[in-house]
Amino acid sequence: MASVEVGEVRLPLSEAIYISLQNVRRRFARVAITTASVTLGIAFFVSLMMMASFQAQVGGAGVQPYMYWLLFISLLVCGVGITNSMLIAVAERYKEIGTYKCLGALDRHILEMFLIEAILVGGIGGLAGYVIGLVAAVIYAVVNPSVGLQSALIALVKPNPAVPLAGPLPVAAGLLVLGVGIAVLLSLIATLYPAYYAARLNPAEALRYEI
Amino acid sequence: MALRYEYTVETEDLAKYYKMGTYIVKALDGVNLKIRRGEYVSIMGPSGAGKTTLFNMIGGLDRPTRGKVYIDEVDISKLDAYELAWLRARKIGYIFQTFNLIPVLTALENVMLPMIFAGVRREERIRKARELLERVGLGDRLYHRPTELSGGQQQRVAIARALANDPAIVLADEPTGNLDLQTGLRIVQLLKELNVERGVTVITATHDLKMIDVSDRIVWIRDGMIERVEERAAIELGAEELQL
């Protein structure tokens, strides 16, 4: 009986990134829904931390312990939202996943494509969330006579040790790094299960699926 | 090049059972089939006869309950996931009823996709994909996405994609099922031309009688078993009668 001389099966990272980018571009409406969930969570996080920093600058209460709890819950809700919308994205693409597998894709290639997409969604959502949060916090400072724009701007360029993890950095920069970082991490964790599920699909079953 | 085996596909007592609640559906029940290199074989039968199940078994997309499938004398049930992926990428080209192109990629990128998995260099991928699309008559549609192409054009892209890695076998599951009569006829002719020109084995699961004229052999299946096998010469007359 003959044996197979098995060659390589591969999906270079650059190609995987290209396909994921095309997925994000061409399925913008779908991706926007997932991104919105990230954006809202991060906007809430950034604005809350900034407002607390402004308060501290003018001698107010600053970051309170209950805020961490609030942030934790809001990010958890946001994570569940991403998982949910990624599960739908996977269901929509059953046939496509089956096709990729027919063309030679391994389970880990499918996983890779979804996780790259998650990083893109997290990055875009985190950035958008940061901008919205920053704008919201500045508006809060302007309309609130006890804070004012002046002290808000000073607070933004000063480090605030009460901000978790990014304490030593100036508030504006620290929250950018932290916000985008949390967004990417959250999006990755939330996508893990849907992506794993997609990767494990049997090609015959995936192809049979009709939407 | 690989050795030339007489039979590209061989099945031995192939069976696939599905459990539906308490009873068992025998989608395939003991199929013995030998397909020679370069043959054009049509698997015909009513819906639910087991055509698609047979397609999935030969294509290494699903595991049989019993029996064996040999592709170029290799028992594919013994392959692991990696070897199976390699087999799908290099040895088999798939064509589907619903075309199954990747919607976010252009025609050219769709044809290049199997070559990426096979590790072909980028310049070579582009050259070959372009050449194949020109061969199927889509030289002016390289940068169109599937939604910008008609059904017949999409199926041509799918045919080009199936041939990208010079497979030994092209498996087509109802390739004309979603096309009108004329378009379907042209797809059937294209498959036959490529079969002759490239010596690639073509296996179609179909109930489209247009396939009869181009097939070297017709395998009729019913209830998961081979009912009869007909050589082309013997059925030509019958086919004419059917089309009237």
Q: Is B119 exposed, middle or buried (0-12, 13-18, 19+ CB in 10 A)?
A: middle
Q: Flag whether B13 is in a domain.
A: no
How far, in Å, are A39, A40, A77, A92, B208 from residue A74 at the CA level?
A: 12, 9, 5, 27, 57
Q: Flag whether B175 is in a domain.
A: yes
Q: Containing domain of residue B90, as a range? A: 37-52+79-243
Say yes or no for a CB contact (<8 Å) between A2 and B74: yes
Per-residue model confidence as pLDDT tens digits over B178-190: 899 889 999 999 9
Lookup: tokens for B103: 């919607």
Averaged confidence pLDDT in chain B:
88
Say yes or no for a CB contact (<8 Å) between B104 and A25: yes
User: Would strands B40-44 and B201-206 be described as parallel, antiparallel, or unpaired?
Assistant: parallel
Query: Which chain A residues are closer than 8 Å to B125 by Cβ?
Result: none
DSSP string, B55-83: HHHHTTSS--SEEEEEETTEEGGG--HHH
Of A26, A95, A204, the CB nearest to B62: A204
pLDDT for B127 equals: 95
Q: Flag whether B59 is in a domain.
A: no
Averaged confidence pLDDT in chain A:
86
Q: Which residues of B touch A (CB under 8 A)?
A: 3, 5, 52, 56, 59, 61-62, 72-75, 79, 81-83, 85-90, 92, 94, 96, 98, 100-105, 113-114, 116-119, 145, 161
Mean local confidence (pLDDT), A15-35:
88
- Dist. CA B129–CA B46, nearest whole Å: 36
pLDDT for B157 equals: 95
Say yes or no for a CB contact (<8 Å) between B62 and A202: yes
Per-residue model confidence as pLDDT tens digits over B80-102: 889 999 999 999 999 999 999 99
Q: If pLDDT is split at 50, 70 and 90, which confidence band does A88 have?
A: confident
Q: If pLDDT is split at 50, 70 and 90, which confidence band does A210 have?
A: low
Mean local confidence (pLDDT), A129-143:
90
For residues A194, A200, A203, A208, the Cα torsion angle rounded to the nearest 10 degrees is: -50
CATH number at residue B122: 3.40.50.300
Claim: this prediction has a pTM higher than 0.90: no
Determine the distance in angstroms separating the CA of A205 from the nearest CA of chain B, rounded to an integer.
8
Closest residue on chain B to A203 (Cα): B61
pLDDT for A184 equals: 93
Per-residue model confidence as pLDDT tens digits over A64-79: 788 888 889 988 888 8
Helices (H) and strands (E) counted in chain A, each on its own, are 8, 0
ipTM above 0.90, yes or no: no
In Å, the largest CA–CA distance within chain A is 86
Mean local confidence (pLDDT), A175-189:
91
Which of A1, A9, A106 should be substituted to probe chain B, the one whose Cβ sees the most B Cβ atoms within 10 Å? A9
Query: Which chain A residues are closer than 8 Å to B52 by Cβ?
Result: 208
Q: How many domains does chain B have?
A: 1
What is the 3-class SS of A74-101, one letter each residue?
A: HHHHHHHHHHHHHHHHHHHCHHHHHHHH
What is the DSSP code (8-state) at residue A170?
B
- Dist. CA B183–CA B151, nearest whole Å: 8
Say yes or no for a CB contact (<8 Å) between A6 and B73: no
Mean local confidence (pLDDT), A161-167:
72
Q: Is the dihedral of CA B119, A17, A107, B130 positive or negative?
A: negative
pLDDT for A53 equals: 83
Say yes or no for a CB contact (<8 Å) between B89 and A104: yes
- Dist. CA A178–CA A168, nearest whole Å: 12
Decide if A120 contacts A21 (C-beta within 8 A).
yes
Query: Which chain A residues are closer than 8 Å to B5 by Cβ?
Result: 2
pLDDT for B233 equals: 62
Q: Please, where are the H alpha helices in B39-150?
A: 51-58, 81-90, 107-117, 122-135
pLDDT for B234 equals: 56
Decide if B73 contacts B34 (C-beta within 8 A).
no
Among left, alpha and beta (phi > 0; psi -120 to 50; other), residue A8 is beta
- Dist. CA B169–CA B72, nearest whole Å: 10
Of B83, B87, B104, the CB nearest to A23: B104
Report the percentage of chain A scoring pLDDT > 70. 96
Domain boundaries, chain A: 27-204
How far, in Å, are A31, B24, B35, B135, B148 from residue B16 at the CA level?
A: 39, 10, 20, 38, 39
Q: In what order do the strands lie in the sheet with B23-36?
A: B23-36, B7-20, B66-71, B74-75
pLDDT for B133 equals: 95
Residue A51 has pLDDT above 60, yes or no: yes
- Dist. CA A119–CA A125, nearest whole Å: 10
CB pairs under 8 A between A and B: 107
User: Would strands B74-75 and B66-71 be described as parallel, antiparallel, or unpaired?
Assistant: antiparallel
Q: If pLDDT is split at 50, 70 and 90, which confidence band does A3 have?
A: low
pLDDT for B207 equals: 84
Lookup: tokens for A98: 């089956």
Residue A209 has pLDDT above 60, yes or no: yes
Residues of chain B with pLDDT under 50: 1-2, 244
